[in-house]
Amino acid sequence: MEYILEILGQIGIYIILAMSLNLMCGLTGLLQLGHAGFFAVGAYAAGLVTIYWFQPAWGYGNYAIGAAAAMAAASVCALVVGIPCLRLRGDYLAIATLGFGEIVRICLNNIEFPGCKLTYDEPFGGATGIELPFEAYYSQWWFIWIHVIVIYILLLNLKRSAIGRAFMAIREDEIAARTMGINPARCKIASFLFCAMFAGLAGALFAYNQISLSPNDFTLLRTIEVLLMVVLGGLGSFSGSALAAVILVALPELLRFAPSVGGIQVSEYRQLIFAALLILLIRIVPNGLLGVNEFHDLPRRAITWLRRR
């Protein structure tokens, strides 16, 4: 049971990460590969704030301060990275943000935070992680899921407003968007800010869930995983991102319990099966599981589909 709840919490964090990345990649059409960087900045900001100023009496107040610090730190990073980088287009923006993600990870690998208890000392030395006080375990699975629901609603509201329309207009045709009065620079920065802010919040939740943080939690692989969720769920569909996050986290775990068939332990091949299933899914639904639709669109879509039959 504890194991399942732990996975549930992880799924929640991934959903927030995927939805926030979808805001930038799916809605605004800007490929960003530094998501793990913002996630790390959020996690470390929350972690350090809690390590230095933890007050047992404040309870969840510690969390609130940490989360605020996480979002602020990630937003500042987004501004610093975004203002020069958003002049870049397509692949170049992806490379620049990828660079940011790696810089963050390498910095964290080498900065020694004074007074922080290191989780472990690697033989080659260097600061490899920080450890939060054990009382700071605020991110129970339900706490994470409250965030998931609130952020989901906020992002949907954003998508179905003038701001969301402006983001999508930039994705579709930047020149047309400009001639309709949309300031692309401002919209891109706004999109980047929201993306980073929610990634930072996910980082804070992660910090209060894991207690010990290490730079190895924030590798490029994490960004790729999240991007995979965004693409699999459907670019521009927050519901799709959530669904894909559930599948991509739960599936490898479920495959652990696969029965042995004809003397072959299927669970040992779970990575292979997982990869094959992914390829199969993308073949079947190239636009992602939900395309651009959200959960609440589905009944209407189903009706129009049935009518056409």
Partner 1 sequence: MVATSVTSRQTGPNSGMSFLLRTRGVIRRFGGVVAVDDVSIDVRCGEIAGLIGPNGAGKTTLFNLITGLDQPDHGTIEFDRRDITTTPAHRLVDLGIARTFQNIRLLDELSVADNVKVACHRSICYTTIHALLRLPRFFREERRIAARCREFLDLFDLGPVCDDTAGSLAYGQRRKLEIARALATGARLLLLDEPAAGMNPQETRDLMDMIRRINSEFKISILLIEHDMKLVMCICDHLFVMDHGKLIAGGTPDDVRQNPKVIEAYLGRRSTSNCP
Residue 7 sits in the site that holds partner 1 (CB under 8 A)? no
A 10 A CB-CB count for 185 gives 12
Residue 276 sits in the site that holds partner 1 (CB under 8 A)? no
Which part of the chain contacts partner 1 (CB under 8 A), choosing from 66-74, 85-93, 110-118, 174-182? 174-182
Residue 303 sits in the site that holds partner 1 (CB under 8 A)? no
Please, are residues 285 and 230 in contact by the beta-carbon 8 Å criterion?
no
Residue 184 sits in the site that holds partner 1 (CB under 8 A)? yes
- The H-assigned helical ranges of 23-125 are 35-53, 60-85, 90-110
Residue 296 sits in the site that holds partner 1 (CB under 8 A)? no
Distances (CA, A) of 64 to 76, 104, 105, 142, 163: 18, 24, 25, 16, 27
In whole angstroms, how close is the CB of 14 to partner 1 at the nearest point? Answer: 22
> What is the rounded CA–CA span in Å between residue 166 and residue 190?
11
* Binds partner 1 by CB under 8 A, chosen from 121, 135, 173, 268: 173
Which part of the chain contacts partner 1 (CB under 8 A), choosing from 39-47, 76-84, 108-116, 183-191? 183-191
> What is the rounded CA–CA span in Å between residue 211 and residue 135?
9
Q: Residues 6 or more apart from 188 whose CB is under 8 A from it?
A: 28, 30, 82, 86, 170
Residue 157 sits in the site that holds partner 1 (CB under 8 A)? yes
> What is the rounded CA–CA span in Å between residue 20 and residue 241?
9
* Binds partner 1 by CB under 8 A, chosen from 68, 119, 141, 165: 165
Which part of the chain contacts partner 1 (CB under 8 A), choosing from 35-43, 71-79, 133-141, 163-171? 163-171
Interaction with partner 1 in 50-109: which residues (CB under 8 A)? Answer: none
A 10 A CB-CB count for 278 gives 15
Residue 4 sits in the site that holds partner 1 (CB under 8 A)? no
Residue 260 sits in the site that holds partner 1 (CB under 8 A)? no
> What is the rounded CA–CA span in Å between residue 247 and residue 278?
10
Q: Which two tokens stand for residue 200?
A: 């930072």
* Binds partner 1 by CB under 8 A, chosen from 172, 224, 268, 272: 172
Best CA proximity match to 148, nearest among 249, 73, 51, 53: 249
In whole angstroms, how close is the CB of 243 to partner 1 at the nearest point? Answer: 20
Amino acid identity at 133: P
* Binds partner 1 by CB under 8 A, chosen from 179, 259, 262, 309: 179
A 10 A CB-CB count for 227 gives 20
For partner 1, which is the closer residue by CB, 130 or 190?
A: 190
In whole angstroms, how close is the CB of 132 to partner 1 at the nearest point? Answer: 30
Interaction with partner 1 in 187-246: which residues (CB under 8 A)? Answer: 190, 236
Positions that interact with partner 1 (CB under 8 A): 154, 157-158, 161-166, 168-169, 171-173, 175-184, 190, 236, 292
